[in-house]
Structure 1
Amino acid sequence: FQNGDLCISILHPPVDDPQSGELPCERWNPTQNVRTILLSVISLLNEPNTFSPANVDASVMYRRWRDSRGKDKEYENIIRKQVSAARLEAEKDGKSEELLVT
Structure 2
Amino acid sequence: MAAARKLIPLLNRVLVEKIVPPTKSVGGILLPESATASQLNAGKVVAVGAGGRTKDGEIIPVAVKEGDTVLIPEYGGSKVKLAEKEYVLLRDDDILGILYE
Q: Which has the larger radius of gyration?
A: 1
Per the normalisation by structure 2, the TM-score is 0.26
> Which structure has the highest strand share of the two?
2
Higher relative contact order (CA 8 A, sep 6+): 2
